[in-house]
Amino acid sequence: MATYGFWKIAEDDPAHVAVVSPSGERITAGELLGEANRVVHGLRALGLQRGDTFAAMVTNEVAMLELYLAATQAGLYITPLNSHLAAPEVAYIVADCDARAVFASPRTAEVCAQALDSLGFPAAVRFVTGEPTAPTFRPYAELKAGHPASTPAERTAGASMTYTSGTTGRPKGVRRPLVPAPPEAVAEPNALFLRLFGITPHDDGVHLVVSPLYHTAVLNFCTNHLHFGHTVVLMDKWTPEGTLELIARHRVTTTHMVPTQFRRLLAMSDAERARADVSSLRHVIHSAAPCPVDVKRRMIDWWGPVIYEYYAASEGGGTLATPQAWLEHPGTVGNAWPISELRVVRDDGAECAPREVGTVYMSMGAHKFEYHKDREKTASTWRGDFFTVGDAGYLDEDGFLYLCDRKNDMIISGGVNIYPAEIESVMVVHAKVRDVAVFGIPDDDWGEHVKAVVEVAPGVAAGPELAEELLAFCKERLAGFKCPRSIDFVPELPRDPNGKLYKRKLRDPYWAGRERAI
């Protein structure tokens, strides 16, 4: 058997169970490879060539893995779309990434159709993975119909291009140059990232996917486990009870979570937690949002020293905190990966002293990326070979990183990044809004939730009716998780004569007596 690498594993051991679908169907490596190969042939028949992009608003189902494996062996970019986006947001990303085809799941097809119709996107290259719920979509099976499961010719490495916010709040595609090499030459070294956590190929590994595959880290961890010869178990809709049941049933060894999921698990009754069999777990990896120290201690007490933390972004990374290192340095997000370097710098570019707060920069050697169609954002992100995503923090004397704040005021709710500027740009165009500020306020379950503070236009009455009107306005234009949970009104927002908003003056009262966990 090949040491690792999905394509080799599928050839050497086609009967190996690669995926367990949310419905419980078991898909072998040979079957998954054959379907991914058919997707490559189908995409090429549509005219897609190396360097082209397709978008996928696909939920946690086997088709998403087929599409990813097709892109990464056909020299294509796959752009995953958040399944909670509103139609205008989908339209923006599809247009910005120059998608040549778009894939949807049955429950995302309607909003996707609205977006594509607004763009005049051709119906011939729209596909839905189940029964079409929008008449302009073709069945996904048609893309593969009549094409062989054989290995495509001219195989070459592709990549994902995920979208993250720019300084204006508009999403920006993180685009890396394609490597002119066989897919194995890229995928297999990337999969070795799992070894940082002590994860090894094969070893009866079972990886449970509990979060949506449109997240960069979730998709990367899932596919890296495929390359390590592990079985991937897909969970469609997360619940704490369902998670514990799947861990016990499949003897899960690894999973990737966010702190909100930890809090929901800990909220279960003592009896429910006592009944849970989590003895198979070896590596429970978390990131995406700060984890309160007491929450992490309670999880380690329950699940044992199997909880690993890392700090990274769609752009790259990063740090790693093993359970042992975290217990010795509570609150840290870890120290640098062997392939990475960290710097914390002042605004003038000088490096900070230990425990001095500054902007966090990272380097991954020759690793480079650009923000698609945004040279200014790209240039502002890089300082030599080091890049930043705008986080502030400090290094201790042992080189362990602690995050303190986010310069861009990003809200993290349930492990999801939410950018106030994007929400503000939507709300401020409402005729009854004169000015608006959006920020995160404490939420015991989600970490933070979205609060909007509005200065109304002259002659407009503030109150509950207007709040409901503004919330409905947002829901038509933004994904649900971005919409304010509540709206307050003030006579005037605190701005200086140059228009600078003192957002902290608005935000601090909500955090009085609470430590913001960033």
Range of 443's domain? 412-511
Q: Clarify whether residues 333 and 447 are in a common domain.
A: no
DSSP 8-state code for residue 252: -
pLDDT at 430 over 80: yes
Last residue of a domain, one of 208, 234, 260: 234
Cis peptide before 415 (omega within 30 of 0): no
Q: Clarify whether residues 34 and 176 are in a common domain.
A: yes
Task: Please give the helix or strand (H or E) that residue 31 lies within, else none.
Answer: helix 29-45
Q: How far apart are CA 427 and CA 450, in angstroms?
A: 13
pLDDT of residue 391: 86
Split at pLDDT 50, 70, 90, the class of 518 is very low
Q: How far apart are CA 411 and CA 409, in angstroms?
A: 6
Task: Please give the helix or strand (H or E) that residue 126 lies within, else none.
Answer: strand 126-128
pLDDT at 168 over 70: no
Lowest mean pLDDT among 23-37, 88-102, 159-173: 159-173
Question: What average pLDDT is seen over the chain?
Answer: 92
Q: Clarify whether residues 92 and 38 are in a common domain.
A: yes
Measured between alpha carbons, how far is residue 403 from residues 344, 359, 390 in Å?
Answer: 11, 10, 11
pLDDT of residue 513: 74
Q: Clarify whether residues 176 and 32 are in a common domain.
A: yes
pLDDT of residue 497: 45
pLDDT of residue 166: 44
Residue with tokens 């990131």: 287
Percent of the chain with pLDDT over 70: 96
Mean pLDDT to the nearest integer, 14-39: 98
Residue 306 domain-assigned (yes or no): no
Last residue of a domain, one of 383, 406, 429: 406
Q: Which residue has the higher pLDDT, 518 or 348?
A: 348
Q: What does the block give as tokens for 499?
A: 């228009």
Residue 271 domain-assigned (yes or no): no
pLDDT at 500 over 70: no
Q: Clarify whether residues 439 and 401 are in a common domain.
A: no
pLDDT of residue 246: 98
Percent of the chain with pLDDT over 90: 76
Q: Clarify whether residues 347 and 451 are in a common domain.
A: no
CA dihedral 298, 301, 303, 305 (to 10 degrees): 110
pLDDT of residue 362: 96
Residue 472 domain-assigned (yes or no): yes
Residue 242 domain-assigned (yes or no): no
Q: Clarify whether residues 459 and 390 are in a common domain.
A: no
Split at pLDDT 50, 70, 90, the class of 167 is very low
Q: What is the pLDDT of residues 292-319, one digit of tens each?
A: 788 899 999 999 999 999 999 889 999 9
Q: Clarify whether residues 156 and 70 are in a common domain.
A: yes
Q: How far apart are CA 147 and CA 145, in angstroms?
A: 6
Split at pLDDT 50, 70, 90, the class of 71 is very high
pLDDT at 517 over 80: no
Lowest mean pLDDT among 60-74, 266-280, 503-517: 503-517
Measured between alpha carbons, how far is residue 132 from residues 60, 62, 105, 109, 498 in Å?
Answer: 17, 17, 9, 8, 53
Q: Clarify whether residues 38 and 98 are in a common domain.
A: yes
Q: What is the pLDDT of residues 331-363, one digit of tens each?
A: 999 999 999 999 999 989 999 999 998 899 999
Residue 444 domain-assigned (yes or no): yes
Q: How many domains does the chain have?
A: 3
Q: What does the block give as tokens for 266?
A: 């800990």
Count of CB atoms situated within 10 Å of the CB of 1: 11
Q: Which residue has the higher pLDDT, 258 or 252?
A: 252
Mean pLDDT to the nearest integer, 365-394: 90
> The domain that contains 448 carries what CATH number?
3.30.300.30
Please check whether residue 119 is in contact with residue 98, taking contact to mean a CB–CB distance below 8 angstroms. no
Q: Which residue has the higher pLDDT, 424 or 284?
A: 284
Helices (H), 203-269: 216-227, 240-250, 259-266
Residue 1 domain-assigned (yes or no): no
Lowest mean pLDDT among 34-43, 83-92, 488-497: 488-497
> The domain that contains 336 carries what CATH number?
2.30.38.10
Residue 359 domain-assigned (yes or no): yes
pLDDT at 3 over 80: no
Measured between alpha carbons, how far is residue 479 from residues 86, 96, 237, 412, 452 in Å?
Answer: 5, 18, 18, 15, 15
Last residue of a domain, one of 406, 421, 449: 406
Residue 298 domain-assigned (yes or no): no
Q: How far apart are CA 292 and CA 441, in angstroms?
A: 15
pLDDT of residue 475: 95
Q: Clarify whether residues 460 and 385 are in a common domain.
A: no
Q: Clarify whether residues 389 and 493 are in a common domain.
A: no
pLDDT at 443 over 60: yes
Q: What is the 3-state composition of the chain as percent helix, strand, coil, each rounded to the nearest 5?
A: 35, 25, 40
> The domain that contains 83 carries what CATH number?
3.40.50.12780
Q: What is the pLDDT of residues 455-477, one digit of tens each?
A: 999 899 999 999 999 999 999 99
pLDDT of residue 107: 93
Q: Clarify whether residues 426 and 375 are in a common domain.
A: no
